């Protein structure tokens, strides 16, 4: 209580000083409002009063950007239509070009065969265990990039956050599938063993060759894409019932109330396509000497998309 009173007192005193600097007179409320307006933002409405006002302005700008996306009915990144999601079934394969690519490809081939032997046609159980492995590389790679940035005392240029986002997305896939199926005791033991082995293996691989490590994830995601194609096929054939989607998936993907399991698989498969392309791109980027380049040009692409949309809207308005 005392602390909050002291906080309010210092806030009022600060506002009065700002008001005096800005030459404002009147009631306390007027003084406060005008003084804060004089500085270009509203202290009275500050939501993040524990950070510096400059930092709060940056936060406000970030929110403002999201608000603009909401106003034009777009999400960030741009949302995919149902047609887009269905079209993502097409299989893309990055042809191995050198020894490192071949090592990556063969590593995934062995892992895939092993997974198939273990799970066979149990697509939902396969998905759960696949995601426990798929969520590892992003967090390991981001830790490597974080440590590299500390070691070299240089900026990371956006890799850490992008890789952490990938790991977070994979973890959400796991939590979504956990709502639809319950792993057996043997599967849980398999996951624990696989995690210990894969974390060790991938940590060593990333330290020795980040090019091979990202290429391996690219191939792993190609396998995940194939696994979700099989999952969809099983739903379409009626082998797996197309039950209503559960709350966690509907919230995460902003799905409508009547969304089904098939819709969820379509969205998860789209994520896997993005991981596949992103990791092949990262591997190429490092090989071409871009280890310190920003990993994505998304901002430019979105800006370009918005410019194109604005131009076509203007043309439509002019012709109407
Ligand atoms: Fe996934
Ligand atoms: Fe993935």
User: Residue 76 and residue 23: Cα distance in Å, rounded?
Assistant: 43
Q: 248 alpha carbon to ligand 1 midpoint, in Å?
A: 15
Given a contact cutoff of 8 angstroms between Cβ atoms, the answer to whether 163 and 138 are in contact is: yes
> Which CATH architecture best describes the domain 84-297?
Up-down Bundle (1.20)
Query: Domain extents for the chain?
Result: 2-71, 84-297
Ligand nearest to the CA of 273: 2
Q: 231 alpha carbon to ligand 1 midpoint, in Å?
A: 13
Given a contact cutoff of 8 angstroms between Cβ atoms, the answer to whether 182 and 71 are in contact is: no
Token duo for residue 62:
């970030």
Q: 171 alpha carbon to ligand 2 midpoint, in Å?
A: 10
Residue 215: Cβ within 10 Å count: 30
Token duo for residue 140:
């390991």
Q: 145 alpha carbon to ligand 1 midpoint, in Å?
A: 22
Token duo for residue 283:
């591997």
Q: Which residues contact 170 (CB under 8 A, 6 or more apart)?
A: 131, 134, 135, 138, 275
DSSP 8-class letter at 95: -
Segment-wise mean pLDDT, segments of 10 residues, the chain, 320 residues: 40 47 48 50 57 70 65 63 84 94 95 79 81 95 97 92 94 91 88 93 97 96 93 93 93 90 93 93 92 70 62 70
Q: 279 alpha carbon to ligand 2 midpoint, in Å?
A: 10
SS3 148: helix
Q: 164 alpha carbon to ligand 1 midpoint, in Å?
A: 13
Whether omega before 257 lies within 30 degrees of 0, making that bond cis, reads no
pTM of the model: 0.70
Q: Which residues contact 151 (CB under 8 A, 6 or more apart)?
A: none
**φ, ψ for residue 292, nearest 5 deg:** -110, 10
User: Residue 260 and residue 231: Cα distance in Å, rounded?
Assistant: 14
pLDDT at 205: 97
User: Residue 241 and residue 244: Cα distance in Å, rounded?
Assistant: 9
Q: 300 alpha carbon to ligand 1 midpoint, in Å?
A: 26
**φ, ψ for residue 254, nearest 5 deg:** 55, 50
Given a contact cutoff of 8 angstroms between Cβ atoms, the answer to whether 280 and 215 are in contact is: yes
Q: 224 alpha carbon to ligand 2 midpoint, in Å?
A: 7
User: Residue 196 and residue 132: Cα distance in Å, rounded?
Assistant: 11
Given a contact cutoff of 8 angstroms between Cβ atoms, the answer to whether 255 and 266 are in contact is: no
Q: 126 alpha carbon to ligand 1 midpoint, in Å?
A: 11
pLDDT at 233: 94
Handedness of CA 51, 299, 139, 67 (dihedral sign): positive
Q: 283 alpha carbon to ligand 2 midpoint, in Å?
A: 16
pLDDT at 300: 53
DSSP 8-class letter at 44: G
Q: 249 alpha carbon to ligand 1 midpoint, in Å?
A: 13
- Residue with tokens 């998860």, as numbered in its chain: 268
**φ, ψ for residue 183, nearest 5 deg:** -65, 145
User: Residue 241 and residue 230: Cα distance in Å, rounded?
Assistant: 14
User: Residue 196 and residue 133: Cα distance in Å, rounded?
Assistant: 10
């Amino acid at each position: 209580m005392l602390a909050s009173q002291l906080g309010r007192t210092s806030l009022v005193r600060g506002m009065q000083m700002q008001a005096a600097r800005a030459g404002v007179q009147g009631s306390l409320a007027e003084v406060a409002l005008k003084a804060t307006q004089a500085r270009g933002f509203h202290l009275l409405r500050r939501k993040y009063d524990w950070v510096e006002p400059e930092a709060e302005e940056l936060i406000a700008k970030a929110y403002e950007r999201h608000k603009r996306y909401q106003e034009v009915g777009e999400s960030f990144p741009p949302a995919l239509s149902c047609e887009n999601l269905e079209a993502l079934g097409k299989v893309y394969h990055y042809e191995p070009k050198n020894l490192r690519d071949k090592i990556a490809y063969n590593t995934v081939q062995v892992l895939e065969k092993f997974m198939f032997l273990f799970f066979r046609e149990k697509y939902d159980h396969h998905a759960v265990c696949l995601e426990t492995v798929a969520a590892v590389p992003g967090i390991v790679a981001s830790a490597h990039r974080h440590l590299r940035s500390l070691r070299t005392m240089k900026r990371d240029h956006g890799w850490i956050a992008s890789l952490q986002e990938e790991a977070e997305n994979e973890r959400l896939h796991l939590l979504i599938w956990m709502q639809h199926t319950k792993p057996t005791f043997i599967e849980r033991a398999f996951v624990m063993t696989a995690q210990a082995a894969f974390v060790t293996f991938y940590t060593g691989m990333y330290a020795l060759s980040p090019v091979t490590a990202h290429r391996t994830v690219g191939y792993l995601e190609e396998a995940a894409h194939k696994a979700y194609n099989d999952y969809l096929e099983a739903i379409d054939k009626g082998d797996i019932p197309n039950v209503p989607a559960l709350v966690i998936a509907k919230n995460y993907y902003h799905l409508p109330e009547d969304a089904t399991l098939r819709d969820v698989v379509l969205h998860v498969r789209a994520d896997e396509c993005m991981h596949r392309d992103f990791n092949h791109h990262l591997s190429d980027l490092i090989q071409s000497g871009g280890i310190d380049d920003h990993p994505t040009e998304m901002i430019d692409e979105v800006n370009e998309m918005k410019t194109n949309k604005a131009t076509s809207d203007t043309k439509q308005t002019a012709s109407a």
